[in-house]
Chains A and B, each alone.
Chain A
């Protein structure tokens, strides 16, 4: 158990809909990262937050957005869903960006999104 929790575990929805994925980082971790894992694109970094502020963006579509709340949990919002958005979405947390001591990221169990 990494200490990172994600809800829900599974989500089935229809094209055009909007969903929200939730992540709670490990206790004490200030950074949250979101990744998408799909068969055709593999594991891709989407976005990073540190202590409530957006820090870095990767291959995140404009239809997707995220935020990190004062209690450090994070939500990833996916809207106008398309079939190709079906994937595993992972959240990871780490102590803080740039820290030389421990750059490891700890991953949650993921949310499997199926768009029909």
Chain B
């Protein structure tokens, strides 16, 4: 079973707009990671935030973590058509295996 849910399930925006995806998880974590998957291909690691961090930036990505609400969000700024993909959050506890959310399908229209 999956750790949690992602919201929205699908998101369609215009190039240049910002995209925000939310993730909820169920148990305590050591870190939360975000991955991107292009159409049935492998998962690419985007960014990791540890349980003692509240916000992290990497290029056009900004991730936040609220451990009291067991939730995280990923913001992609100034979206490009190449950002079209599925985005997954993955919670990692002490055992380190990843428990994935259900994913958000992002479509960026040119």
The interface of chain A, by Cβ under 8 A from chain B, is 2, 4, 31, 33, 35, 41-45, 48, 56, 58-59, 88, 90, 92, 94, 97-98, 103-110, 112
Whole-angstrom distance between the alpha carbons of A106 and B97 in the complex?
12
Q: Cβ of B48: which chain A residues have Cβ within 8 Å of it? A: 103-104
Contact with A along B19-45 (1 / 0, CB 8 A): 000000000001101010000111111
B97 touches A56 (CB 8 A): yes
Known: A43-B2, A103-B48. A112 touches B40 (CB 8 A): yes
Would you list 17 pairs from A and B whose C-beta atoms are within 8 A, ordered by A residue? A2-B42, A2-B44, A33-B97, A35-B98, A42-B2, A42-B102, A43-B88, A43-B90, A44-B1, A44-B2, A45-B98, A94-B96, A97-B96, A106-B45, A109-B41, A109-B42, A112-B40
A104 touches B45 (CB 8 A): yes
A103 touches B96 (CB 8 A): yes
The interface of chain B, by Cβ under 8 A from chain A, is 1-2, 30-31, 33, 35, 40-45, 48, 88, 90, 92, 94-100, 102-103
A58 touches B33 (CB 8 A): no
B41 touches A42 (CB 8 A): no
Whole-angstrom distance between the alpha carbons of A94 and B96 in the complex?
10
Number of residue pairs across A and B with beta carbons under 8 Å? 67
A105 touches B45 (CB 8 A): yes
Q: Cβ of A104: which chain B residues have Cβ within 8 Å of it? A: 33, 45, 48
Q: Cβ of B99: which chain A residues have Cβ within 8 Å of it? A: 45
Whole-angstrom distance between the alpha carbons of A74 and B44 in the complex?
20
Q: Cβ of B30: which chain A residues have Cβ within 8 Å of it? A: 103
Whole-angstrom distance between the alpha carbons of A88 and B33 in the complex?
20
B1 touches A33 (CB 8 A): no
Whole-angstrom distance between the alpha carbons of A45 and B102 in the complex?
13
Q: Cβ of B35: which chain A residues have Cβ within 8 Å of it? A: 107
Q: Smallest CB–CB gap between B50 and chain A, Å?
A: 9
